[in-house]
Amino acid sequence: MQLQIRRKSSGAEHTLDIREVDELTVGRDSSNDVQLPFSFVSSRHLHLRRVEKTWSITDLGSTNGTEVDGIKLQPHRSFGLQIGALVTIQDIELSLAESIPASFTIAHSGTLVRQLLKDGLATDEIDSAFFEVIEGPNTGERVYIPDHLDAVPLRISNTKLELLEEAQNSNSTLIRVSDGFGIESELELLTNGAPYQSGKRILNGSRLSFGPLTFVFFDPLEELLPAPAPTEATLTPATQDEHREEAPQEDGEEEQALDQEQEKEKAPGGAEKWIVLIALACLLLTIGLVAMFFF
């Protein structure tokens, strides 16, 4: 079973192999099984589920809705989806098909995202992602990254950065991280002056260093991609400090902290308590003296 994905504005088509999948979500966010990186697609747009030999489709309360063969689905209600039925989300058409060679699998969904974005661009309008050496013997050299990669052997030395065809002489691996890239390595790499955590996503403009060699990562497509989740992003030292200082609280923790703050505001401080007690004692003493004077 395959899921065909077609962008109407460009006519480009891609096929996703879903033979081993029983259910999947489709949406703009990278947490979905199938990510459609367009503003007209909701973060979690729709859900597909295998029901024996057929499939069902559910719109997950999307902003722009979902149509099947021209009929708009009611949100949060499941409907049967026949082979060949046309699912439309504005500029995107989806359909289930059988016996069609698939160009991608769920594991390649990050590559599919990048290809969907490129479909709407002129071929010479945007470059592939690349590393550019800015310090070292080969300053100015660019190493272009193939968009179809799953994992590519990489060799990083004090003088050179190389993509290899075989892993035999490699000491690192360039990997796909969602719809971006990362490096798996045991080398002590630095990114933007801080230790690089192996496997973390590298953001556009990041400087990576190993010994005297420094290179910058450029991804011209990144600004068109949905923002990566915080756990995917490579944090700079400044943003790491911000995250430590302003760690997110759970809803329950926020309410509890707010209640405690309000109680502190209501409750008088220690010095204020003593002033109140002294004033009260003076008042009682005055009342006693007045009573003795008259009686």
Tell me what pLDDT residue 212 has. 92
Tell me what pLDDT residue 115 has. 77
| Domains held by the chain: number | 2
Tell me what pLDDT residue 126 has. 58
pLDDT by position in tens, the chain (length 295): 889 999 888 888 888 888 888 999 999 988 899 989 888 999 999 999 998 888 999 999 999 999 999 999 999 999 999 999 999 999 999 999 887 676 677 766 777 777 787 776 655 555 688 999 999 988 999 998 876 666 889 999 998 999 998 888 899 999 888 778 899 998 999 998 899 999 998 989 999 999 999 999 998 877 777 665 555 444 443 344 443 333 333 334 434 444 454 444 444 455 666 777 777 777 777 776 656 666 5
The CATH number given to whatever domain includes residue 146 is 2.60.200.20
Picking from 195, 224, 253, the residue at the C-terminal end of a domain is 224
> Is 152 found in the same domain as 82?
no
> Is 92 found in the same domain as 19?
yes
Within 10 Å of residue 142's Cβ, how many Cβ atoms? 14
Give me the domain span that covers residue 83. Answer: 2-97
> Is 143 found in the same domain as 75?
no
> CA-based Rg of the chain, rounded to a whole angstrom?
30
Contact between residue 34 and residue 109 where contact means Cβ atoms under 8 Å apart: yes
Cα separation, 250 vs 289, whole angstroms? 58
Residue 58 lies in a domain: yes
Residue 230 lies in a domain: no
Coil, helix or strand at residue 46 = strand
Tell me what pLDDT residue 266 has. 47
Q: pTM value?
A: 0.58
Residue 198 lies in a domain: yes
Residue 177 lies in a domain: yes
Tell me what pLDDT residue 185 has. 92
Which residue stretches of 26-154 are H helix?
109-119
> Is 137 found in the same domain as 76?
no
Diameter of the chain by CA atoms? Answer: 111
Q: Which of 55, 149, 166, 72 is nearest to 110 (CA)?
A: 149
Tell me what pLDDT residue 25 has. 96
